[in-house]
Amino acid sequence: MVRPHNEDAVFVHDAGLAVLADGMGGYNAGEVASGIAVKLITEGLLPELVSGRDLSKVDVHSGLTHAAMLLQQQIAAANKGIYEAAQSRPECAGMGTTVVAAVFHGNRVSIAHIGDSRCYRLRGGKFEQLTRDHSLLQEQIDSGQITPDQARFSLNKNLVTRALGIEAIVPADISEYRIEPDDIYLLCSDGLTDMVDTDVVHGVVDDQRKALESAAASLVELANQNGGRDNISVILARVPADFLPNTAWAQRFLAKKRKTEQ
């Protein structure tokens, strides 16, 4: 309701990829940064996802799944691309972006983030934030300077301590979780969470869990009704009710069994 242009960028593919970025800095440079981030992350991940390769396999050296390693690589590539563009183009000086990305593979989801764009999970009746903001506000909460309730009224909500493209090397936080039938994953920019209380977000997603497009539209509308001071981006993804949590393991077992019988 306030900003003249949109600095957020999103990408979703039914092969199991969701990426959301919230850009910042310079005249229109924020949307350049978020666009570069989404483009480079998806260019490296999508071909691997659609290839049918098992991205759940764990690398013996790093201890990470191939999905997590790909996320690391592509986020590093995106950081390099944004940083170099900011250094070489005066109109893009100082630009950066937050990012949150989810890769669904086998019976797991790998989640990477930098900044204060978030990922939540609704499982049964429990709504849980899976990412931890890289922000001054979160540092103040962690150090005990303010309480989470006081943080809701803080003037420091938009001060991130880590962003893609600001420095030559910026690490991403990556976590992995086992997925369950009917899990719902919400990726969003702070344009939603700064405007709508978490309890309200939970209620909307829970009430409309069978109609995710409607739920996403409702969340954007609520954020705008509450002032809409920033761009609002929302991605909702639901694990099918007939999903088998042990599918990936079962497929590997059957493949080994067939090979033995041959």
Kindly report, residue by residue over 30-83, the tens digit of the pLDDT.
Answer: 999 999 999 999 999 999 999 989 999 999 888 899 999 999 999 999 999 999
Pairwise CA distance, residues 205 & 58, whole Å: 33
For residue 183, with 0-12 CB atoms within 10 Å meaning exposed, 13-18 middle and 19 or more buried, which class applies?
Answer: buried
Instruction: Count how many domains the chain has.
Output: 1
CB 55 within 8 A of CB 49: yes
Pairing of strands 118-123, 8-13: unpaired
Residue 148 belongs to a domain: yes
Tracing tokens 């986020």 back to the chain, one arrives at: 75
Residue 148 confidence (pLDDT): 86
**Tens digit of pLDDT at every position of the chain (262 positions):** 998 889 999 999 999 999 999 999 866 799 999 999 999 999 999 999 999 899 999 998 888 999 999 999 999 999 999 999 999 999 999 999 999 999 999 999 999 999 999 999 999 999 999 999 999 999 999 999 999 888 888 877 779 999 999 999 999 999 999 999 999 999 999 999 999 999 999 999 999 999 999 999 999 999 999 999 999 999 999 999 988 876 544 444 444 444 444 4
Sign of the Cα torsion 235, 46, 8, 161 reads positive
- CA 98 and chain centroid, separation: 9
Q: Domain of 149?
A: 8-261
Q: Kindly report the CATH number assigned to the domain that includes residue 158.
A: 3.60.40.10
Residue 71 confidence (pLDDT): 97
Residue 195 is which amino acid?
M
Residue 98 belongs to a domain: yes
pTM over 0.85: yes
Residue 2 belongs to a domain: no
Residue 226 confidence (pLDDT): 96
Contacts of 182 (CB under 8 A, 6+ apart): 123, 209, 238, 239, 241
Residue 3 belongs to a domain: no
Residue 27 confidence (pLDDT): 65
Residue 28 belongs to a domain: yes
Among 219, 251, 250, 252, CA closest to 236: 219
Residue 247 confidence (pLDDT): 55
Compute how many other C-beta atoms are within 10 angstroms of the C-beta atom of residue 48: 18
Residue 1 belongs to a domain: no
Residue 38 confidence (pLDDT): 98
Residue 26 confidence (pLDDT): 65
Residue 78 confidence (pLDDT): 98
